[in-house]
Structure 1
């Protein structure tokens, strides 16, 4: 059943004097947000092409000089051209090539100020080169003590920070100072999930204490609250598919509700065998992985809405979280005992899938798992112990010993995330801070 959606403008209060700044939201110093999000205009095909040179003999002879019955010079010239193309073809020097200046400009803009350099060496497995940058929300933290969401914009160097207070903030990142671009407040919301759409024009935001979710339009600067299907209680799990077409929500019982993002309609209810603790889409949005509280992983097909496989996570007693890699080849599970298992997706259909690697460097419950965009790093965190974070190199599966620094205190880390090209890595904690790191191996945002 399609649920009604309304604009709740009176529930959304701008922080400070943001209305005047909203029209000037900048994702870089030179271009506005709205201009950046609009699609690029194609080059016109109707270009007035001029000949490279002219032959003096062309003016001496006409069609009438050669073929008296020719109707006109134009007709005669076209016939000669057609005959020449049929017999000889178009020489390579005469081919009209598309102007690639705009394409080069687009590639340059996607680097967000960083020069594209070809990587000559592989990522080191023993020593991670990184730099600790100023906190993302270093000016005035209004997102609350527990920051549950750090999301990087898919196209521009901007981060979304949200948490317990219900304030959602957009920050420009990458410089000496991370500037707050805009904030808005969702009253009485303890925000627990936020995801940018693949085109970067909207953000889906949810709180496990509310029966609605928010769609924030970055172009129009409008927030719309949409009710979940009545059958769904609270979105304890709230995942947006990589292609932006599906929302998977669950109240942590044994059902997952699949919602169409365009129509906000309930597509299907997937019945799991046990209560669900975590869920994740695969890279091409064709499958959904549900992690049951007893350690059973169920692989759902989003084409047939049927279970393709169920397997027991090796050594798991209590399930915690699950994530997938952008390349589609790996999945990782985290348990309540601090165990991280990494599986190859091609091995999941065997009778008893065996993990490629088991990492046990964290001794408390895994609360956040994230692969970087190139599947060369897996970050694992626990919110139950200070500085409980490990970075795992792939494919060697070595744990970096120089991270985190012993002298640096993250407190209790809530969530970890990487920027689209892995140039940045961010952590949030229970003290209202969002830490930002520059990974030197990756040259782009």
Structure 2
């Protein structure tokens, strides 16, 4: 009995587990091999977003209580939770490929970038707050080497920003002038970082070449 947020089914696939957003704070865990329900997790607030750790053994979740939860999927327990600074409703999460960073987006358009080890050690402050979006953050993605973090909101045209992670600055030349992204809904990078694909609300996928990377 899965009740997705809004009109979309939100699910996330890890190495061996598929996580679904459920009703009343529940997260449903399904085996990617057998497609059978293998467990449930329960947040205090509604669930809005999920992100697996880089090794697939842990899950991050956020939602209506403004906190980021860290779950151990081997035991089914929450081993850490903390308020996402300045957040009332969490709407998006993503983790870097090496697991050292995670980003948390909210319905106010704020994106906080955290050092994961520091957070688990008790530090609550983000290493950087990105405030370049003004509407609800829907989707975020680190590229393969965590040099770029892409963030977007489907509630406003052309609302997609690229963050240079080492300097925590937003690329001023993106989106390109006169380039119409429409309302961006999702995105992903190619394995080598040479391309970025953006899906929008018009049903189109836009493909961009990132010239800094030589390999696709």
For the aligned pair, the TM-score class normalised by the smaller chain equals over 0.9
Any conservation in 2 of the 1:236–1:251 contact (CA below 8 Å)?
no
The structure 1 segments of at least 4 consecutive aligned residues displaced by more than 3 Å after TM superposition are 231-235
Q: Deviations over 1:138-178 (max 9, x none)?
A: xxxxxxxxxxxxxxxxxxxxxxxxxxxxxxxxxxxxxxxxx
C-alpha separation in 1, matches of 2:47 and 2:112? 18
Aligned residue number for residue 443 of structure 1: 214
The CA deviation at 1:351 is: 3.3
Query: Relative to 1, partners in 2 of residues 1:269 and 1:315: Cα closer, same or farther, differing over 3 Å?
Result: same
Aligned-pair CA distance for 1:382: 0.8
C-alpha displacement of 1:317: 1.9
Query: Greater CA radius of gyration, 1 or 2?
Result: 1
How large is the RMSD of aligned CA atoms in angstroms?
Answer: 1.4
CA distance in 2, matches of 1:395, 1:278: 25
1:285 maps to 2:39: no
SS of the residue corresponding to residue 416 of structure 1 reads: strand
Alpha-carbon distance in 2 for matches of 1:334, 1:250 = 17
> What is the SS of the residue equivalent to 1:348?
helix
* Cα deviation, residue 310, structure 1: 0.7
Q: Which residue of 1 aligns with 2:9?
A: 236
- In the alignment, the residues of structure 2 paired with residue 264 and residue 415 of structure 1 have an alpha-carbon distance, to the nearest angstrom, of 25
Instruction: Quote the offset at 1:352 in angstroms.
Output: 4.6
SS at match of 2:80: strand
Alpha-carbon contact 1:240-1:247 (below 8 Å) kept? yes
Larger helix fraction of residues = 1
Please say if 1:329 is aligned against 2:93.
no
* Pair 1:418-2:189 in alignment: yes
Equivalent of 1:370, from 133, 138, 141? 141
Give the CA deviation at 1:232: 3.8
Matches within 5 A, 1:169-248: 231-233=1-3, 236-241=9-14, 243=15, 245-248=16-19
Taking the aligned partners of 1:232 and 1:259, their CA distance within structure 2 comes to 12
Q: Show the 5 A alignment for 1:423-434.
A: 423-434=194-205
**In the alignment, which residue of structure 2 is the partner of 1:27?**
none
Contact 2:162 2:174 in 1 (8 A): yes
Structure 1 pair 366/410, CA: closer, same or farther in 2 (3 Å)?
A: same
CA distance in 1, matches of 2:2, 2:106: 26
> Following the alignment from structure 2 to structure 1, what is the Cα–Cα distance between the partners of residues 153 and 54?
24
Distance 1:328 1:288 in 2: 11
Tell me which residue corresponds to 1:257: 28
2:2–2:23 CA contact under 8 A, matched in 1: no
- 1:43-69 CA deviation, whole Å, 9 max, x = no partner? xxxxxxxxxxxxxxxxxxxxxxxxxxx
Distance 1:407 1:253, change over 3 A: same
1:108-151 superposed Cα distances (whole Å, 9 cap, x missing partner):
xxxxxxxxxxxxxxxxxxxxxxxxxxxxxxxxxxxxxxxxxxxx
Aligned-partner Cα distance in 2 for 1:318–1:309? 18
Q: Distance in 2 between matches of 1:360 and 1:342?
A: 11
> Does 2:212 correspond to 1:409?
no
Structure 2 gaps, min length 5: none
TM-score (norm 1): 0.47
Cα drift, residue 311 of structure 1: 0.3
1:382 is matched with which residue? 153
Are the aligned partners of 1:236 and 1:252 in contact in 2 as well (CA < 8 Å)? no
Gaps of 5+ in 1: 1-230
User: Size of the alignment, in residue pairs?
Assistant: 213
Matching of residue 271 in structure 1 with residue 42 in structure 2: yes
Aligned to 2:117, the other structure's residue is in SS state: helix
Question: Closer, same or farther in 2 for the Cα pair 1:333/1:252, shift >3 Å?
Answer: farther
- 3-state DSSP of counterpart to 2:181: coil
Report if the CA contact (8 A) 1:383-1:414 is conserved: yes
Q: Could you state the TM-score of these two structures normalised by the residue count of structure 2? A: 0.94
